[in-house]
Structure 1
Amino acid sequence: MKMKLSVAFAAIALAGCTTIGPDRPATQPDAGRALLFSDEFDGTALDRAKWTPIGADFWVNDEQQAYLDRPDVIEVRDGKLVLTPRFAPGLDTNAKRKADFIAGRIVTQGKFEFTYGKAEARIRMPDAVGVWPAFWLLGGGQWPNTGEIDIMEYIGDKSWTGTAMHGPGYSGETPFVDRFYFPEGEDVTGWHTYAADWTPDHVEFSIDGRPTYRVTRAMVEHYGKWVYDTPEHIILNFAMGGAYPGKVNGITQPYYGIPQSTVDRVKRGELAMEVDWVRVWGPQR
């Protein structure tokens, strides 16, 4: 039986480890942290007091989907958020893009934003080349001048996930990017807790409590301004293809970054990003 962490219980800020679900233990925050935000996805619909779905006008990175606010792409069921891409030619209203896929993207902008703390989410993803699910933080100003922290990006090689940071002078093909390769017996299709601990001086990424990558203020200031002193909001999305998958896998047909095998699985409704919970803890005191 899956255990969920309540706000009241979380305020105790226990250290150590609690088993959540049959697949992985999920680490608890260090003592001295307060719970700032939590969505356990225990209801039957997206909590719109916490999240806003993004619509079809949004388009970046040559991605091959249109984001739509529909229950078949953004669903809460069985204690999880489920983001499911669909093959739906003709639904895209952007004549310049004409995407054949639709998908979901939700943000906390204007509803919850924070400066410093630990953001984490328990996620599992499909084994499918060319998909691009992500869990990340973004500042509210013009990109990249208020910073982007990519806690988890996955482009379809189940053996690894990526992290990155983008800001003025170090955006796009940023020097601050890292891959975490799972140890033998693990991959992205299992449940994992992806986290970033953000302080005034560094951002440290971890998976299942294992530190994977650390970017310091000094490292950033070698390339440009450290812009991680203002509020950022949370984003969960399921993109299809586009610049990052396409540059890595070299696929151009039938869609940029997406092979026919993945298209066929989308048509059958086999692919989804599942999110068990999202939590943000305050800075360590």
Structure 2
Amino acid sequence: MAGGAGRAEENTPAPPAGWTRVWADEFDRDGVPDPARWEFEHGFQRNHELQWYQPDNAVVRDGRLVIEARRQQVRNPGFREESREWRASRRFAEYTSASLITRPEVAWTYGRFEIRARFPARAGLWPAIWTTGKGRWPQAGEIDIMEFYRGQLLANFVQAGPDGRDVWNDSRHPLADFEPWEGKDHLWVMEWDEEKIEIRLDGRLLNRHDLSRPFPGADPALRPFHAPQRLRLNMAVGGQGGDPSGTTFPQRYEIDFVRIYQREK
């Protein structure tokens, strides 16, 4: 296994019988993340977050994808003096990080998603593993396999109501329920089929979304979780993550592997 120093000992159970691996990134080649698999977001993106996304903050090293959040000032080329829009009103970003998305042709409908990762539980950090569909948000749907902020782990499902507003099935879990945390790899697994989606962390069920019936408040004409979703990996700073001013930087979010399986036909 390339770059074995720092790679976690293999301790992931094999998927149940009847699953076939259809895509994976083992992060076993040092350097930039594989451009055949991933593309990057750039600049300010969402949620009034503080970080400027840039590819320089992501590297594959020692068998892991490392997303590094830094306290680093970057000039905003989109700054406009009189603007009230939050992205344009900031002359500088004071933090940088990275956000990766599978390429547009790399998306899945149903499957078993396995992601093993670790990150520091620090104020102001907002690491995530999530998926989004093609089209507008929230009509295209969102699955939050993992979010962390303010001492809690979240697993959520988001879709649109008839008025176009976001409708949530969310769950929150204290980080203390999964101790020891610091420096330890944890395994997130999502199993998704025509009837349901279930998200687990280290074998414990975090949330379940029933696809066999309309979700309360959602637009029944939309079926976002029966259509392809792309995978996202990122670490935001600020926003719902809270105030990062008391946190030392850099901070690293490390992903050991991503594996996608689908049921054998």
Change in Cα spacing, 1:2 to 1:162, as seen in structure 2 (3 Å) is farther
Deviations 1:194-219 (A, max 9, x none): 12111112110001222222111256
Residue among 254, 259, 264 paired with 1:274: 254
Change in Cα spacing, 1:140 to 1:82, as seen in structure 2 (3 Å) is same
Structure-1 separation of matches of 2:178 and 2:185: 15
Matched, 1:161 2:153: yes
The aligned residue for residue 237 of structure 1 is: 234
Change in Cα spacing, 1:118 to 1:32, as seen in structure 2 (3 Å) is same
Structure-2 separation of matches of 1:52 and 1:77: 18
Classify the secondary structure of the residue corresponding to 2:149: coil
Deviations 1:140-199 (A, max 9, x none): 111111110000001142xx4111111112998744111233536433642101121111
Shift of 1:258: 1.4
Matched, 1:176 2:169: yes
Matched, 1:109 2:109: no
Q: Percent identity over the alignment? A: 29
Under a length normalisation based on structure 2, what TM-score does the superposition of the two structures give?
Answer: 0.84
Change in Cα spacing, 1:103 to 1:259, as seen in structure 2 (3 Å) is closer
Change in Cα spacing, 1:184 to 1:167, as seen in structure 2 (3 Å) is closer
Shift of 1:221: 2.4
Change in Cα spacing, 1:156 to 1:272, as seen in structure 2 (3 Å) is farther
The aligned residue for residue 126 of structure 1 is: 120
The aligned residue for residue 83 of structure 2 is: none
Question: What does 1:65-76 align with in structure 2 at a 5 Å threshold?
Answer: 65-70=51-56, 73-76=57-60
Question: What does 1:1-285 align with in structure 2 at a 5 Å threshold?
Answer: 21-22=8-9, 25-45=11-31, 46-56=33-43, 58-70=44-56, 73-95=57-79, 96=88, 97=90, 98-157=92-151, 160-169=152-161, 174-181=167-174, 182-183=176-177, 185-187=179-181, 189-217=183-211, 220-225=214-219, 226-242=223-239, 244-245=240-241, 257-262=242-247, 265-266=248-249, 269=250, 271-283=251-263
Structure 1 residue runs of 5 or longer lacking an equivalent are 5-19, 246-256
What amino acid maps onto 1:133 in structure 2?
A: P
Structure-1 separation of matches of 2:77 and 2:70: 15
Change in Cα spacing, 1:101 to 1:27, as seen in structure 2 (3 Å) is same
Deviations 1:81-119 (A, max 9, x none): 000011221333331133211110011131411100011
Structure-2 separation of matches of 1:150 and 1:172: 17
Structure-2 separation of matches of 1:274 and 1:220: 36
Change in Cα spacing, 1:215 to 1:69, as seen in structure 2 (3 Å) is same
Question: RMSD in angstroms over aligned alpha carbons?
Answer: 2.5
Classify the secondary structure of the residue corresponding to 1:183: helix
Structure-2 separation of matches of 1:79 and 1:130: 27
Shift of 1:283: 3.2
Conserved? CA contact 1:27–1:208, under 8 Å: no
Classify the secondary structure of the residue corresponding to 2:217: coil
Structure-2 separation of matches of 1:168 and 1:77: 39
Shift of 1:220: 5.0
What amino acid maps onto 1:69 in structure 2?
A: P
Conserved? CA contact 2:155–2:170, under 8 Å: yes
Structure-1 separation of matches of 2:165 and 2:12: 32
Change in Cα spacing, 1:3 to 1:91, as seen in structure 2 (3 Å) is closer
Change in Cα spacing, 1:173 to 1:188, as seen in structure 2 (3 Å) is farther
Under a length normalisation based on structure 1, what TM-score does the superposition of the two structures give?
Answer: 0.79
Classify the secondary structure of the residue corresponding to 1:228: helix
